[in-house]
Structure formats: structure tokens, C-alpha cells
Amino acid sequence: MDETPDERKRSGRSKSIGPCIVSCIFVFLTHLVLSLVPRFFSASAFLAQLALSALLLLFFLGFGGWCRRTLLKRRASAPAFVFFNILFIWGFYISVISQAVSLLNDAVFSCEVVFLLIGLYSIITSDPGFVTNGFASSDQVAEGSVSEVHIHEKELEVLASGLSDDSTEGSGLVTRVRYCRICKAYIKGLDHHCPAFGNCIGQKNHPLFLVLLFGLIITEASYLVCTSLFVAKSGLLRRPSLEPTLSENLTVSTIMFTILQLVWQVLFVIWHIYCVCFNIRTDEWINWKKHPEFQLLVQPQPGKNFTSIKFRNPYDKGIRQNVKEFLALRA
């Protein structure tokens, strides 16, 4: 019997206890490994430690992923990894950092974390804009054996049929329908499939996704403010001890972890804002050669016998109109 995307998601969630436990262990191991940097390289410059942490994090995530898949044959859950990371940082903050922080800072940071966890749950369980008119559950799609041409034809077909009964009909707003190979479903206004949140980001949850990214950035910045207050009070960086304790190492390593997170998330948000302003989804921006509407055939120049393809965005209607449409397309 065919399952709708919602049913597939629900049955997937019920089988996710094992991957959640793997993710939880993986979070602890990640922070333990990162704490080795200040433990053994405390004499090095902070930037050198930061670069080393970034390399270690990439290596550990890659190597850990390979070990899980090939040796342990266990899957981890990326959303659970994000969730437990937030809990780990919060737990460390409560047990160590909060001692040096004022009650107001303490309340602000804790509220931010609670909102972040609510936001995380909301985005994981949100409907990105599943098209539920029968195409999404066809046998061919469920088996994942669709070709690029077939997908594009279906996207246009779903778009045409979806618009006839869609609330946006007549408003002049065009909803792009794209196929997600991971969810095996057609999504209205698909931006990308987000592995970290285990869900597609589409027309209905794209604004929530951006709000959540801003929330992450603000919370991480707050954590850095709180830890710098702690470091200033404890004089941790002024007098690095010869035998630093685990909590001292974790203070430094969580600062570096948070800075690394912050850097890539700020870059990610800037890229998303750019895409919203120019009315192009991030997946379309990367894979524009797969979508014919973004291709402009340039006739061969005299003396040359090949036709080149240039990028053009048929959806770009100017920044103001693009942002207006982006906010209006939530419904």
C-alpha cells in the first residue's frame, strides 16, 4: 500500500530511537575530542587552536560517519545530533558557565535555548508544502527510480494541476514544484532538503527555517558573551594551568565550536537572503543546469560551431517584489 509523505515521515520517526542514541553518543565523543585541543595545545595561539579544531571536527565527523556506516552498521540521526548538541552546550552552561553570569544574562540565554528547541521541533515536524494530489505517492516515485526528465515533466504537471485548486490562483504568484529524492515527494517551492533538520525546506516552512537560523546565531552569540564573562572572571586564558581540568578544556573547546558554527551559519544566512532577494531557491542556484527555465541558449558566434548555455532567472522580478512574494507564498 502506498504511503503519503506524512505517513512515511511518521513511520520513520517511530524507528528513530536507535539512531538518536548513536547521535547522543556521537555528540559526547565530538566534544570530548575537541576538548583535547586546549588540553594539548594550550600554549598555541587561539587562532591556531581554532583552525586545528575545525580540521579535527571535519575529520571526526567524516571518520565517525564512515565508522558508523561500515563498521558499526548503525545510522545516526542528524536532527538528533543538532538537538543533543544544543542540550550538551546548555547542560555545560548550567553546570559551569552560569556561575559567573548575572541572573538577567542567565534568563535571556535559557529563554533563547528553549525557543530554539521549540523552533527545532517545529521545523522537523513542519509541512514544507507537500503536494498531495497523487503524484507524490506513485509507485515509480516511491521506488526512487525516476529520471531527471521524468521528474521535470512531473514537476510541471504537478504545478499545473496544483495551481488549479491552489489558494494562490489568480494572485499572480507562481509556485515552483520540485521533487526531493530523499523524501520521495513533490514539494511546493522546494529550497533544499536540510539534513540537519531531516526535512525539506519549502514554501511553507522556509520563513521558519530562516527565523531558526537567526535564532541559532543569536543563541550562539549569547553563549560566547556568557563564556567570555566566565573566562574574564576565572582568568582562564590569563593563567593557563599546567594540568587544566576537563571543565576548563571544555570551556575553551565549546567557545571554539560555537565560533565555527557561527561563522558557517552567518555565511549560510547571507546566501539564503541573497537567494530570497533574487527569487531563486538554493537548490536551483546550485543545480540550475538541471532546470531548463534557467538556461538561455546563446547562438554560436561566427567562427565557432558550439552553442553555449548562460544562466538567466525567469522568476526575478526585482528585490522588493521577490521579498514580497516570498513572504506571501507561505499560505
Q: Which stretch binds Zn ion (CB under 5 A): 183-191, 205-213, 220-228, 310-318?
A: 183-191
Smallest gap from residue 198 Cβ to Zn ion (A): 9
Nearer to Zn ion, 89 or 183 (CB): 183
Smallest gap from residue 192 Cβ to Zn ion (A): 8
Q: Which stretch binds Zn ion (CB under 5 A): 57-65, 99-107, 177-185, 241-249?
A: 177-185
Smallest gap from residue 41 Cβ to Zn ion (A): 40
Q: Which stretch binds Zn ion (CB under 5 A): 26-34, 82-90, 176-184, 222-230?
A: 176-184
Residues 191-210, mask of contacts with Zn ion (x by CB under 5 A): --x------x----------
Q: Which stretch binds Zn ion (CB under 5 A): 77-85, 158-166, 186-194, 226-234?
A: 186-194
Binding-site member from 159, 183, 201, 329 for Zn ion (CB under 5 A): 183
Q: Which stretch binds Zn ion (CB under 5 A): 12-20, 104-112, 172-180, 270-278?
A: 172-180
Binding-site member from 111, 182, 273, 286 for Zn ion (CB under 5 A): 182
How far apart are the C-alpha atoms of 331 and 322, rounded to whole Å?
16
Cβ burial 127-159 (10 Å sphere, 16+ → b, else e) = bbbbbeeebbbeeebeeeebeeeebbebbeebb
Binding-site member from 52, 96, 97, 180 for Zn ion (CB under 5 A): 180
Smallest gap from residue 187 Cβ to Zn ion (A): 7
Nearer to Zn ion, 188 or 193 (CB): 193
Instruction: Please count the residues of this chain forming the interface with Zn ion, following the rule CB under 5 A.
Output: 5
Smallest gap from residue 128 Cβ to Zn ion (A): 7
Nearer to Zn ion, 176 or 193 (CB): 193
Q: Footprint of Zn ion on this chain (CB under 5 A)? A: 180, 182-183, 193, 200
